[in-house]
A and B are shown apart, each in its own frame.
Chain A
Amino acid sequence: MDDIILKTEDVGVIYDRSIVALENVSLNVPTGKLTAILGPSGCGKTTLLKVIAGLIEPSSGTVKIRDKETIGPGPDRALVFQDFALLPWATVLQNVAFGLRAQGVSKREREKTSLTYIKEVGLSGFEDKYPHQLSGGMRQRTGLARALTVNSEILLMDEPFSAVDEQMRRKLQEDLLELLKIENKTVIFVTHSIEEAVYLADQVVILSGRPGSIAEIVYPEIDRLGEIDLIRRQPRYVELVDEIWSSLKSYVE
C-alpha cells in the first residue's frame, strides 16, 4: 500500500443551495504519484480540484493532508490555473515571483528563485515580457513556474495542456514528466483527454456526470521507459484508452 499524502472524505459540494456539483467523493492520493481526474464536461472536476486547493469550502466532508484536516489554502499545495490567472500588468518574472512575494520573501531572494524555475520550465529570455506578448503555451509555463516557486509538495493543475495545440501539448507533457523526475512532487491534474490521463497518470479517477461522484479508478501502470511513440503503441496503453472510453460513454448517457 502506498503512502497516502492527501485524501478527500465524503466530499460534497452544493452551489447556490440547489446545484449538487459533487457527491460523496472519497479519494486517496498516493505520495509522489500523478493522479488524473477525468470526466465529462460539467461533472465537477474543477470543483473537486478547488476543494482540494482550499478555494472552495465543501458543503460536506473533509480534505485531509497526512491525516490532518485542512481548511483553506496552505503552503503544501500550489494550483496551476486553467485560465493561467496571470497579472496582465506584470512581467513574467513578477508573475512567477507573486507567490513568494505573498509570503514576504525579499525581492533579491524571490527573483533568484523565480529565475531558476523560469529556466526550468524553458522560459529563459522571456523574464521581462508581459503576458500578452506570450503564446498560450508560454503563459501556461509561467503559471507552472509560479506554482513551482513556492515549493509545495502537492501540485494541482486544472487542464494544464488544454490551451495549446497537439504538438505543443505533447511537448509540455514530456516536459512535465522530465520536470517531475527532478522535482519530487505529488501531482493531481484535471483533464478532458483520456490519452493524456493514461499516458501521464499513475491513477486515473473517473467522475460520473452530475452530480459528480467517483465512478471508477484505473491504475494504468504503463511502462514509461523508452520512446514516447512506442509507449503510445503499447497494447496495454491502447487497451486502457478503449476501456476508459467505453466506461465514460456509459456515464454520459
Chain B
Amino acid sequence: MQNGELKQCELQIVETPRFFEAMLRGRPYGEASHITSRICGICAVGHATASLRATEKALGVAPSEQTVLLRKLNFHGEILDSHILHTYMLVAPDFLGVDSVIPLAKSAPEVVLRALRMKKLAGDICKVICGRHTHPHRDDGRRLHALPVERRDRRAARTACRDAR
C-alpha cells in the first residue's frame, strides 16, 4: 500500500494437497474431528466442530444443549483469536508500511503487547473448553471427556481474565 492505494498484490498458493477426504476413509469416527482439525491450525476449532456435527448427523445423535453452548463459546474464542491475529499481526503491518508485526513491537510496543494479551485471552477461552486452540481435544463426538468445571479450569479462567486486564 502507498498513500492508501494498492500498488502490488501477490497471490501465492503454497499449500500442498492434503487429501483429507481420502484419509478419513475407513478410520474410526471418533478420530474424524481430530484428523480434520489438522486442515488448518489457525481455525482448528472450526474444522473440528464441523466434523463433529457431520459425525453426529451421520449417527443421528443430538448433542446436549450444554455441549452446544460450550462449542459456541469455543468458537467465539477462536474467532477472537484469529481476528486479532488477522488485524494486528497480518493487516496492520501492511497498512503501516512495514513487513511484519516485529517492527511494530519496537514502534508501538503497548499496542502489540495488548494484542498479544488479547490473543492469549482468546486462546485461553478455547483452552478452558477444549484443552488448546490448536488442536482441540476433549470433544470427539463420543462424549465431552471432561467439562470445564474442574478446579484447574476455573483457576485458568481466572488467571486469563486477570492477565487480560
Q: Does chain A bind chain B?
A: no
Which residue numbers of B lie inside 8 Å of A, CB to CB? none
Q: Which residues of A contact B (CB under 8 A)?
A: none
